[in-house]
Chain A
Amino acid sequence: MIHTTFILALGPLCPWLMLLLGLQALAGLCRLKTRGWLRLLLLAVVAAGLLLLPIQSVSIAGWVRGLSAEFSIPLTGLLVVAVLETEFRRELFSNADWIAAWAFGALGGLGLYPLALGWGSFDPYEWGWRFSPLFVASALVTSLLLWKQSRFGLLLLLATTAYQLRLLESANYWDYLLDPVYCVTSLLALAVQLAKVARPAASANA
């Protein structure tokens, strides 16, 4: 019962963080320069209030939950980092940490989704239900990142811990590591990073 309640409470966390990040951006556009815990608390309450607004007698949080299943632990962690970095202007993740996060989301998603959606007879999603190469790969990637002192490695460790505690509705390890929103965001973020790298190179050649 406590476990079920916890899972239910964890469900709206990611949409709430997304909304909070959006409100922070909006506050920035409106030139609200006062930052800190008080503003964060205020925006957090507004975000929670918006998620509770009903549409056809179901809250927006209920609609998001109906449409999106659950969000992965790395995406949730990255949103927490983004919210805190935006609010307090402190670097919690280095550029290398962010690139590791986007590379994991992009490569993992590209490896999972086309096959899981029916491209061929092999479904890698099956690997998430029992001990499989997925667990070996995850242990290797997490260990490597932790050895390199990447803070993204801590998020992967957190995802594995959450899987062992079954903190999401899903019992599949993939759902703790990846979700489609994280994958698409990662692809876009990597494309932006590549464009940034390519631009100075193009300017130098010109």
Chain B
Amino acid sequence: MRRTGVRWFLISAAIALNSLPLLRQPHRSPQFLLPAELPSQSLPAQPEPYFTQELINPDSARRMSHVASICELPDGRLAAVWYAGSEEGAPDVAICFATQQRGQTNWAAPQAILTPQRTSRELHRAVRKVGNPVVFSDARAGKLWLLYVTITVGGWSGSSLNLTTSADGGLTWAPSRRLTLSPFFNISELVRNRPLPLSGGGWVVPIYHECIGKFPELLWLGGTEDGTSATKSRITGGRSGFQSALAALSTNTALALLRDCSPRKRISVARTGDVGQTWSSPQALDLPNPDSGLSAVRLSDGRVLLAFNDTDTGRENLRLAASEDEGRTWRRLATLEDEPGAEFSYPYLLQARDGKIHLVYTWKRKAIKHVAFNAAWLNARQGQPSG
């Protein structure tokens, strides 16, 4: 009799504990936040074409600089991060951070903000390499977020994702936190492209898996009472497209443009109509991709702008293309780089609150280049042959 009572008590506990998550279900699904809905967003008319370009770290003592990202701070400054060291994946690689004052073209001296040693201490585990930093600014919370990968052994497929934040514009950074996103030793989760803000204060970040499969995923970051919640969903599985670039078209719809690692060598596009909950099968576009990173942004005028290596054999050029029909057809607008034997890779696009478009990318693996232009410059290119 007593044993039966204990049994029923334990069974009731099992059912009750497994039912508790029902109480924590989100009340409302978030929506994409479009530029016009961001705070203090104003796009003054800029009739004159504007174009500037410079190296962010021209005098770097580190031989290699790679994989940059850029964001706009609440005060209008630009902040860029990238990783630099003797060579890709070397133990001396650090994540560097630099800012540019509003209206200026020179950058402050870069600071190494994260090293394997520091992250090893903060994460309480061995870390041999760091890389792929993506920085984004939350004007709503006045906070700077930084996602990056760490590796304990092996190559990029052994990466795990980590998150740190700064409340003072990048001067100091909170201790990093490891995100658990994979059941398989929590490895092979990487980040590369620009996140999209969500209503309710969260973010959706395009991440990807590259171990046995290579496929694009989404990291959903949201604020909770006990910190930041991080969950993951999949765009598609397989081994052909990954490292997606997201462009929100409306509060519910978005494009994911995919880097191609299949013999097809074409950029493909997947679409969502329910804020990233489900995605269409990726369809190949008539744009080449030599298994290299690309970046996309929906401009305030509705066009989707794409920065990519316009070849299927290397990373020797870097071009801009735009679509006026939500990514169905594309028109090449400008060639930013074209030099046989050189590498111009991993572009990262951003449209700032003043309407200017910023692009950072790896310049010959030696430095990070920043290019800024406006819609008038793009429009002027529209009538000209590219190349």
A contact set with B: CB distance below 8 Å:
8, 11, 56, 58, 62-63, 65-70, 112-113, 116-123, 125-126, 128-131, 135-136, 138-139, 142-143, 146-147, 149, 153-154, 156-157, 160-161, 163-164, 168-175, 178-180
- Flag if B184 contacts A118 (CB, 8 Å): no
A170 to B20, CA, bound (A): 17
B120 within 8 A of A: yes
Query: What is the number of contacts between chain A and chain B, taking CB atoms within 8 Å?
Result: 149
Q: Which one of B124, B214, B230 lies within 8 Å of A8 (CB-CB)?
A: B124
Interface of A is mostly: helix
Taking a contact as CB atoms under 8 Å apart, the answer to whether A118 and B230 are in contact is no
In the complex, A58→B121 CA distance in Å?
9
List of A residues within 8 angstroms of B45 by Cβ: none
Q: Are A139 and B124 CB-contacts (below 8 A) given A112-B183, A126-B231?
A: no
Report B-chain residues with C-beta under 8 Å of the C-beta of A118.
209, 211-215, 237-239
Chain B residues contacting A126 (CB-CB under 8 Å) are 231-234
Q: Is the CB of A67 within 8 A of B152?
A: yes
- The residue of chain A having its C-beta at the shortest distance from the C-beta of B91 within the complex is A56
Selected interface stretch from B6-14, B63-71, B95-103, B249-257: B6-14
Q: Which residues of B contact A (CB under 8 A)?
A: 7, 10-11, 13-15, 17-22, 24-26, 120, 123-127, 152-153, 160, 178, 180, 182-187, 209, 211-215, 217, 229-234, 236-239
> Is the CB–CB distance between A65 and B126 below 8 Å?
yes
Q: How far is the CA of A128 from the CA of B212 in the complex (A)?
A: 22
CB-based contact B184/A113 at 8 Å = yes
- Among B18, B126, B215, B239, the one with the most A-chain Cβ atoms within 10 Å of its Cβ is B18
State which of B17, B153, B184, B186 has its C-beta within 8 Å of the C-beta of A161: B17
CB pair B185 A67 closer than 8 Å: yes
When the two chains form their complex, are residues A123 and B10 in contact, meaning their CB atoms are under 8 A apart? no
State how many angstroms separate the Cβ of B272 from the closest Cβ of chain A: 13
Residues of B within 8 A of A138 (CB): 14, 18
Closest to B9 in A: A146
Cα–Cα distance between A180 and B14 once the two chains are bound (Å): 24
Q: Cβ of B178 and Cβ of A169 under 8 Å apart?
A: yes
Residue contact B213 to A130, C-beta cutoff 8 Å? no
Point out the residue from B7, B160, B183 that lies within 8 Å of A178, measured CB to CB. Answer: B183
Q: How far is the CA of A112 from the CA of B68 in the complex (A)?
A: 34
A58 and B11 form a contact (CB under 8 A): no
- Identity of the chain B residue whose Cβ is nearest the Cβ of A109 in the assembled complex: B183
Judge whether B233 and A123 touch: CB under 8 Å.
yes
Contact partners of B211 in chain A: CB under 8 A: 117-118
Question: Are B10 and A153 in contact (CB-based, < 8 A)?
Answer: yes
Instruction: Check if A121 sits within 8 Å of B183, measured CB to CB.
Output: no
User: What is the distance, in angstroms, from B376's C-beta to the closest C-beta of chain A?
Assistant: 42
| A residues near B234, Cβ cutoff 8 Å | 121-123, 126
Q: With A67-B185, A139-B15 known to touch, is A172 a contact of B124 (CB < 8 Å)? A: no
Q: How far is the CA of A151 from the CA of B13 in the complex (A)?
A: 15
- Report B-chain residues with C-beta under 8 Å of the C-beta of A66: 120, 123, 125-127, 152-153
Contact of B20 among A116, A119, A164, A168 (CB under 8 A): A164
CB pair A65–B230 under 8 Å, yes or no, is no
Cβ of A154: which chain B residues have Cβ within 8 Å of it? 10
Chain B's closest residue to A116 (CB) is B183
Check A11 against B180 for contact (C-beta < 8 Å).
no
Contact partners of A161 in chain B: CB under 8 A = 17
| In-complex Cβ contact of B125 among A62, A113, A175 (8 A) | A62
Which A residue sits closest to B18, measured CB to CB? A139
Our pick among B7, B125, B183, B239 for the contact of A65 (Cβ within 8 Å) is B125
Using known A-B contacts A118-B238, A123-B233, determine if residue A157 contacts B17 with beta carbons closer than 8 Å.
yes
Assess whether B180 is in contact with A146, with CB atoms less than 8 Å apart: no
Residue pair A113, B183 in contact (C-beta under 8 Å): yes
A111 shortest CB reach to chain B, Å? 11
Pair A170/B180 contact, Cβ less than 8 Å: yes
In the complex, what's the smallest C-beta–C-beta distance from A61 to chain B, in angstroms? 9
Taking A117-B211, A131-B21, A163-B17 as given, write out 5 further A-B residue pairs in contact, using a Cβ cutoff of 8 Å, ordered by the A residue number. A65-B126, A118-B212, A123-B232, A135-B18, A139-B15
Q: List 9 A-B pairs, Cβ < 8 Å.
A: A66-B125, A69-B160, A69-B186, A117-B209, A123-B234, A135-B19, A135-B21, A138-B14, A171-B229
Contact present for A70 and B180 (CB under 8 Å): yes
Q: State the Cβ distance, A206 to closest chain B Cβ, in Å.
A: 42
CB-based contact B14/A146 at 8 Å: yes
Which residue of chain A lies nearest to B3 when distances are taken between CB atoms in the complex? A149
Determine how close the nearest CB of chain A comes to the CB of B1; give it in whole angstroms.
15
Q: Closest chain B residue to A160 by CB distance?
A: B17
A8 to B19, CA, bound (A): 27
How many angstroms between the C-alpha atoms of A62 and B182 in the bound complex?
19
A41 to B372, CA, bound (A): 66
Contact B18 A125 (CB under 8 A): no
Which chain B residues border A172 with CB–CB below 8 Å? 180, 183, 231
CA distance A120 to B186 in the complex (A): 19
